[in-house]
Each structure stands twice: as C-alpha cells, then as structure tokens.
Structure 1
Amino acid sequence: MTPPRGWSLGLRTRIAASIVLLTVAASAGVGFASYRVQADDSTERFVLAADASFQSTINHLRTEEELHGEGRVAVLAEEMDRWAGVGWSAVDLGGAPVSWPPAEGEPSGAAFPATAGDPQHQNAPVPAELVREAVVGHLPAVQRDPYRSGWLLVAGEVTPGLVLVQHYGMHRLDDELSRLRHQLAAISAVVAFLATVAAILAANQVSRPLRTAADAARRFGDGDLGTRLPVAGRDDLADLATAFNAMAERLSHSITDLRAKDRQQRRFVSDVTHDLRTPLASMVAAADSLNSLDGESRARAADLLTVQSRRLARLVEDLLEISRFDAGVVEVLREPVDLAELVADAVDLAAPDADISIRVVGDVLVTGDARRLHTIVRNLLTNAVTHGAEPVVVTVDGTDSATVLVRVADGGPGVPEELVPIAFDRFVRGDASRRVTEGSGLGLSIAAENATAHGGHLGVHNAGGAVFTVTLPRGEPPPTSRGDDEA
C-alpha cells in the first residue's frame, strides 16, 4: 500500500511566497534603516540645537555677579524669565558635596527636587545622574526626561552648587517621527501588495511552461507520439523544452520501431506457419503413401518427399539466419574478396543453365565476408531467374575508389511499384496469391541484411526489368600477422 503523500505547497505558491517574503523583508529592512537614519539625524540636530541654546544661556548667566551672592535663585529666576524664553528649572545644592560616581551610601537613581523654575517645570523632579554629570564634568549634560515623556533635559552648573536645567519639548519631533513611521508602514504595505501581485504573475509566468510540459508529457504518455514543446529563447525553460523534445523524438522512434517490429513479428509468425504447413503436409502425405504404393508411384512419392525435405531445410536455415540478424549476433569475417570470381561462382551454383552475362569494370577487390557476399549475389540471381526473366546481366563496377557496385538486371516485367518500398521485407512476394514456390520469401531480406552488415546498401528500381544494386564499401584489408610476413 502506497503511503499517503504529505501536504505540501504547490510550485506557484512557493514561488509567490518566496517573492513576497523576500520583497517584504527587503522593504521592511530598507524602511527600518531609513527610519533609523532619519530619526537619529533629526534627534541629533535637535540635541545640537538645544545644546547651542543652553550654551548661550549659561554663558550669559555666568556673567551676572548677583548670582554669586545671597538670593541667587531669585536672581536666576528673574534672568531666566527675561532671557531664555524656554522651560527651565533649577537645583540649588546649597553647598552639599556632589561626587561621581556616587559615594558609598549615596543614592544614585534618586531625583533632586527643583528649587525653582517656570510654572510648567518648577515641580518637575530632576534626575540625580543629570545633576552629578553637570557638576562633576563641568559641561552641559543632556538626557531625555525619564519621568515625563517628550522632554529633553540639558543641565549645567551656573555657579558652584547652583544647577540650571532647561526643558526642551520634543513632542513635535516625536510627532514627525511617528508620521514618518506611519508613512513607511503604509509604503511597506503598498510594496507588499504590489509584491504579491507581481509574485502571482511571476509564478504563473514560470509555472505556465511547466504546466505545458506536464500536459505534453501526459499526452505523450497517452500515445500522442508527435507531441513536442515550443522552444523560445535560451533560458532554462528553453533547455527543458529542448531536452523534452529530444527525449520525445528518441522515444517516438523507439516506440515506432517496436510497433513495427511487433507487426513484423506477428506477420513473421503467420508467414512461417503458412510456409511450413505446405512442405510438412506434402511430406506427411508422401510418407503415408509410401507403404501403399508400388513401383513408379512410390518413386514419385519419394522424389516429392525429398524435394519438400530440402525446401524445409532451406526454410529452416533461412529462418535461423534471420533470427541471428534479429539477435544481433551476426559475425562478419573479413578477408580480401575478388567480386568477379565470386559472381562467376555464384552464377555456376545458382543458375548454371540460365542466360546470364557478367561484366566487370575496374578494380573489384573488396574486404568482406566471402560467404555472406556469396549469399547476396546468389539470392539476387535466384530472384532474377525465378521471378524475372532472362537474359540476366550482372555488372560488377569497381571504378569508384571507395565503393564497388554489383548490379543484377533481368529482362522481366520488373517489381510492381507498390512492392518497391517493401521489396526487402520478410515473406514479400510479387504473387499475391502466395503460390507455392521453391523460395522461402526471405532471400531478398537476407541479402539486404548481409549488405547492411558490410556497411553497404541494397536497392531496387525498374529499368526495362527489375534492377537490384548492391553498394559495398571496399573496406580495410585485415592486418597481416608477423607469422604470415615471415612465411
């Protein structure tokens, strides 16, 4: 039992999600970085402006002599009301020592109560750390108010023991930064929406060729061997389409060949059954009649049995040869062969009494298997005499430096045009009635297979009669052994 497949996202969803996540992350990162840069820059400018304003105020106050005597807090309040124009408060330490870091037992985080200040800030607590930094460092100390949001505190010692604190409102700056955050968030949302739309379009664009390829693969699997993918561009999808088309082309050829071989095999079995039935029936009838016949009748029955036995033996031999070709175990023994002598011997063996003439032109020496070449010529001669008509002309043409032609032309009516394309198929005969002949219907097929085994070709055309032409490469002569050289 096949285990159920786990749930997983589709390709389009994964592509779209990846693009959206990447875009949103990049947008958020850019937005955050932009906000931080803007916020830090604005805050820094605000702090510098506040520090410059406080320096101007503190420098003015330090020139006032009254601030060194009695009632200095009142004098400070009067000067601040007339000069500063910003919120302020003051801490009068009254000569109490202030150290930094705090002395042992001295609270470090407590706030100093304001001694004086404008109505808005006179009761505001002042952080102890701010006061200590201003007194010990003798420089303006800057800190955001930890007790009230939206305020920046700048403190400095006007005279020993008297600390001035100015309060600068940062509400407008905070509001601007808040608006900036909202704007960046809105921009990020718009970017995310556009990224989602673009991701869906891109995912569809990427997955469409894949869906097309999957549909083509299904159609090819259903038997449409002509299915191919369009190839456009030079990207990875084009490589995929090219690879699919090459695979489909090879598979279609293989499947077509297998189907053709299957049809050929079925026809082969049918033809073998038909061709074996006739000689076997004749042999059985002749054998059965031998016991009941006398004299001349017995001799005729014995002759018939002999003829059919030989015909059956030739058919079996031809079938064995065909089976060797189908199995790919044919062995070609190459040696120098004089085609003129081979053709003359084939004529003497196949049709010694027929009107056959031989013409030899050029160098007709080739390297090949003499037995198989002899079979080619002998089968062509038998076919010409049996199915064609005399005279038969055999031409051996060796004028070409690379090939030698053996042409067998008879004086008959020629091969029917509808049979020319299949003349070398197995069990093909010119007589549709399948009349009984001595041939097996395999001679031309075996001749064609032998020619192919030599790297050659066997063809046929009509020119006043049937003309069969064998084209054979000359081939390289076999290497001579050292023992042969010494001999």
Structure 2
Amino acid sequence: MRRWHPGLRTSIVLTVIAITVAATGTMALLSYQLQQTEIRERFKAAAKADFGSDRQQIHQWLVNSRSTEQSKLDSVGEYLNGRLALDWSILNFNASLGPQSSLGPGGYVPVSGRPGPFDRSRVEEARAKETATVDYNDIVDGSLHYIVMGQAEPGMILVEIYSTEIADRQLARVRLELTAAAAGVILVGSLLGLLAARRIQRRVRVAAGAARTLGSGALDTRLPVQGRDEFADLAGSFNSMAQRLGESIEELRRKDEQQRQFVADVAHDLRTPMAVLIAASDGLDGPERERSAELIGTQTRRLSALVEDLLEMSRFDAGAAEFRPEPVDLQALCVDVVEMVGADIPVAASGDGVVTGDPRRLHTIVRNLVSNALHHGAPPITITIDGTAEPEVRVAVRDHGPGLPPELGSKVFDRFVRGDRSRRGEGSGLGLAIAYENAVLHGGRIEVTSPGGAEFTLVVPRSTAIDPD
C-alpha cells in the first residue's frame, strides 16, 4: 500500500490548520476554565451573601416576633415562604423551638421546608459552628444544586438550596461564544495558511523553473532577490551558483579553445623543424653534407627547446609544476641573467630586493623578459628593481623599440602568440606564457605598458603562500 505524500502546498495548509486548531483550542479551553471559575465563584459569593442576609433577617424576625416559643418554627417558615424562588429547609435540634429533626438512613430529615434528607456529616459540621456556614454541591431532583447551611438560632439549622441553572446557562453561552470564536479563528487561519502556501509554492515554482532553465543551458538565468527571508537567501545562493557555473563553463570553453589552438600551433611549429630535418637528412648523402649536418644540429636544438617548453606548459596545466622556495636576491639574479645573455644591460636597484621564491623559476622569468626585449625591442634596455614597498618587489625590464602592437595587448601572454617580427625569428611564442605562469605560481603577476617602447614589470610578493611540492 502506497503511503500518501502530500505536496508542499497541502503540507503547509495542513500544518497551519493543525497549529491553528491546537493554539485556538488551547486558548479557548483556558478561557473557558477562567470564565467557569469566575462564574462559579460569583454565583457562590451571591448565594452566601443571600444566605447571610436571610440568617440575619430570621434572627431579627424571631426577636421582634410576639409569638410563643412553640410557634418560632412557624414564624421562620412564614418569613422564608415570603422569599420567592427560594428552596429552603429547617433542621431543628432545639426542643424548645418545636419538633426536632430525626436521623434517617440518608441523613437528617427537616422539620419544615423542602424535604431532605441532608448529609449527616454536613449537618453536624454546621451544628458545630456558631456563625460559619457549610456549603457544598449536591444532586437534588436529578440536577446539580448549591447548598448552604448554618445556624440561624442555637439548635436551628437553616438550609438554602440554590439551583445552578443560571450559572449553567451562562457557561453554556460562554462555551457557544468561545466555540464560534475558535471556529472563526480556525477558518481565518486556514485561509491565511492557504494564501501563504500559494505564495510560497509560487516562489518555489519560480526557483524550480529557473533551475530547469539553467539546466537547459541558459547560464544567464537569475532569480529576483526580494526581502531578507529564506527565499531571498535561496535566490542569492542560486544566483551565485549560476554565476560560478557560468564562469566555470566559460573557462572550460576557453580552455578547450585554447587547447585546440595549442595543438594546432604545436603542429605548425613542429612542421618546420621536422621538414628541415627530413630535407637535411636526405642531403647527408650529397655534396652538401656539412651544411646538412649543421641544419640538423640547429633544428634539433630548436626542436629540443620547443619540446622542453611544451613539457613545462603541460606541468602548469596539470598543476604539477615543481616549486622550491628560498630567499632570493633579485638584484644578483638579474645581474646573472645579464651575464648569461651577454648583453650590456644596466641593473639599477633601490630598497630591499630579497624575496622568498623559487630561484630557478624567477631566473626563467627575468631571462625570458630580457630575451623578449633583445629580440623584439631596441636599445637601450634597462632593468630596474624597486624594493621600497614592504609587501612586494617590482622588477621592470624596459626597451626603447617600437613597443607592443595594440592587437597584442590583451593576449601577449597567450601561448604561441607572436608579432609580425617574431614570426620570422626562431622563437616559439611560449617564452612570455611560461614567464607569466611562473609569476602566478609565486602569487605575483606581470604588468605590461608601452611608454615609448615596451616595459614588462614582474611583481613578486616578498613571501609566497604556496607550499613546496
């Protein structure tokens, strides 16, 4: 048998109705209990006040009566009969006042008024008290009555019987009013719950529709953020997720395009040395043997350098680039690069040029920047080290050549990107890409400007947060 699983709207409505019924029922019950207690106490207080007044009046009646002692019970009966809508009884234990009450199976029997009997223990308690009264509830003629008894005269017990019908009618009216109020509250609460459920369901459907739209490929799908409730948090989280997903997919597309372009460029760059190698190897059997051997050596070295650069780029892509940080003096490193390339390039430094980084990779960055300036720029070429800032050190390599073409400004660090002049040279177009990846590995960057030439500035933090691996 399948279990019933209500929908969101039905669940909310049922929950609201259940809470409303429970809360309203509890409040109605508590209100009724308070009203019942108040009405009962008020009824008892009025009955006791009437009894006290009657007892005083009886005493005054007997004092002022001129009848004989034997007629006092009749005098009391005459007075009480004058009280309309009052049930009363007289229990007499004083022989001087008239006939005395007898003890029957059910209690003491009155000598006048409403026949009893009355509970023995209650009567004896009233006889023991001179001025206090005894009150209790009892069933009389099949309905609940409130009974008050006390001594009107020594040995004479006055009993007054009050019907609770009036109080019961008041309580019935209170019950009806509270029931009607509770029903109204439940009805209003149910309607409000239905409206709230529709509103929540509508917002959930909007979110579900946005999720389906996003899943179908519309990465620009966003939810409106309204208010500061949980749905606003949901909408904000959905929008952030959609933005990150869009950025990730766009990055994957860019990477995919980059990889396709990478493969095409690699094939293009390998084609030339391979063709030269094939032609040179064929010439080894001819008269140009020395020239062919020279070409084979040159192209082999070029091919080896290209393969090494490709391997280095693959390490960056795989996140497996080796990083071994240690204190590095950038001024000494730049001087070493200048000596290696054999160029007359001055190195100027200010401040503290010591950073924590991988010396081999920092050397590669500066060497590639200097080689780029030598091959594509024009003298004079300068290297300036600025170590005056506390968080980072800047190494600027500037030439006074034609500068960076405008079309290369946004992609100068892309792989296999070369200007018109460099396309005729021996470069592979990977030098600046490798320099840039090494700078990022250090948590730094390379900035490019063209202030009458080209200026590449390596910005390296003094310490890196990347752990060696």
TM-score, length-scaled by structure 1: 0.73
Contact 1:283–1:308, Cα closer than 8 Å, also in 2: yes
Which residue, out of 399, 410, 417, partners 1:409?
A: 399
Q: Relative to 1, partners in 2 of residues 1:418 and 1:236: Cα closer, same or farther, differing over 3 Å? A: same
Aligned counterparts, 1:134-149, within 5 A? 134-135=126-127, 137=129, 140-148=133-141, 149=143
Q: Relative to 1, partners in 2 of residues 1:458 and 1:277: Cα closer, same or farther, differing over 3 Å? A: same
Which residue, out of 393, 408, 418, partners 1:429?
A: 418
1:331 aligns with 2:323: yes
User: C-alpha separation between the residues in 1 aligned to 2:44 and 2:270?
Assistant: 109
Contact 1:395–1:408, Cα closer than 8 Å, also in 2: yes
- SS for the counterpart of 1:460 is strand
1:306 aligns with 2:304: no
Aligned counterparts, 1:80-91, within 5 A? 80-82=80-82, 86-90=86-90
Q: Relative to 1, partners in 2 of residues 1:90 and 1:420: Cα closer, same or farther, differing over 3 Å? A: same
Contact 1:155–1:164, Cα closer than 8 Å, also in 2: yes
Which residue, out of 263, 274, 283, partners 1:269?
A: 263
User: C-alpha separation between the residues in 2 aligned to 1:233 and 1:285?
Assistant: 74
- SS for the counterpart of 2:414 is coil
User: C-alpha separation between the residues in 1 aligned to 2:235 and 2:205?
Assistant: 12
**By how many angstroms is 1:310 displaced?**
1.8
Unaligned residue ranges in structure 1 (runs of 5+): 99-105, 477-487
**By how many angstroms is 1:314 displaced?**
0.9
Aligned counterparts, 1:185-204, within 5 A? 185-201=179-195
Percent identity, aligned pairs only?
36
Unaligned residue ranges in structure 2 (runs of 5+): 94-98, 464-469
User: C-alpha separation between the residues in 1 aligned to 2:18 and 2:382?
Assistant: 76
Q: Relative to 1, partners in 2 of residues 1:272 and 1:54: Cα closer, same or farther, differing over 3 Å? A: farther
- SS for the counterpart of 2:426 is coil
**By how many angstroms is 1:318 displaced?**
0.3
Q: Relative to 1, partners in 2 of residues 1:65 and 1:219: Cα closer, same or farther, differing over 3 Å? A: farther
Q: Relative to 1, partners in 2 of residues 1:15 and 1:463: Cα closer, same or farther, differing over 3 Å? A: farther
- SS for the counterpart of 1:411 is coil
User: C-alpha separation between the residues in 2 aligned to 1:61 and 1:266?
Assistant: 124
TM-score, length-scaled by structure 2: 0.75
Contact 2:17–2:189, Cα closer than 8 Å, also in 1: no
User: C-alpha separation between the residues in 2 aligned to 1:421 and 1:68?
Assistant: 130
**By how many angstroms is 1:317 displaced?**
0.4
User: C-alpha separation between the residues in 2 aligned to 1:81 and 1:6?
Assistant: 70
**By how many angstroms is 1:451 displaced?**
2.9
1:168 aligns with 2:159: no
Which residue, out of 470, 477, 487, partners 2:457?
A: 470
User: C-alpha separation between the residues in 1 aligned to 2:12 and 2:302?
Assistant: 70
**By how many angstroms is 1:127 displaced?**
3.7
Provide the residue aligned with 1:46 in structure 2: 46
Out of 59-68 and 339-348, give the one that drifted further: 59-68
**By how many angstroms is 1:322 displaced?**
1.2
1:397 aligns with 2:388: no
Provide the residue aligned with 1:12 in structure 2: 12
User: C-alpha separation between the residues in 1 aligned to 2:461 and 2:163?
Assistant: 106
- SS for the counterpart of 1:154 is strand
Contact 1:90–1:114, Cα closer than 8 Å, also in 2: yes
User: C-alpha separation between the residues in 1 aligned to 2:175 and 2:60?
Assistant: 39
Residues 365-421 of structure 1 show CA distances to partners (whole Å, capped at 9, x for unaligned) of: 5545554344334434544555x46x3432112356233433243534x54423321
**By how many angstroms is 1:5 displaced?**
8.7
Residue type at the aligned position of 1:303: E
Q: Relative to 1, partners in 2 of residues 1:346 and 1:201: Cα closer, same or farther, differing over 3 Å? A: farther
- SS for the counterpart of 2:416 is coil
Provide the residue aligned with 1:447 in structure 2: 435
**By how many angstroms is 1:35 displaced?**
1.7
User: C-alpha separation between the residues in 2 aligned to 1:81 and 1:25?
Assistant: 46
- SS for the counterpart of 1:80 is helix
1:457 aligns with 2:448: no
1:418 aligns with 2:407: yes
Provide the residue aligned with 2:273 in structure 1: 279
C-alpha RMSD of the superposition: 4.2
Contact 2:25–2:182, Cα closer than 8 Å, also in 1: no
Alignment length (residue pairs): 444
Q: Relative to 1, partners in 2 of residues 1:17 and 1:175: Cα closer, same or farther, differing over 3 Å? A: closer
Contact 1:90–1:115, Cα closer than 8 Å, also in 2: yes
User: C-alpha separation between the residues in 2 aligned to 1:81 and 1:373?
Assistant: 122
User: C-alpha separation between the residues in 2 aligned to 1:160 and 1:461?
Assistant: 123
**By how many angstroms is 1:39 displaced?**
1.9
- SS for the counterpart of 1:312 is helix
Contact 1:346–1:377, Cα closer than 8 Å, also in 2: no
Contact 1:50–1:168, Cα closer than 8 Å, also in 2: no
User: C-alpha separation between the residues in 1 aligned to 2:133 and 2:394?
Assistant: 112
Provide the residue aligned with 1:375 in structure 2: 364
Contact 2:102–2:108, Cα closer than 8 Å, also in 1: no
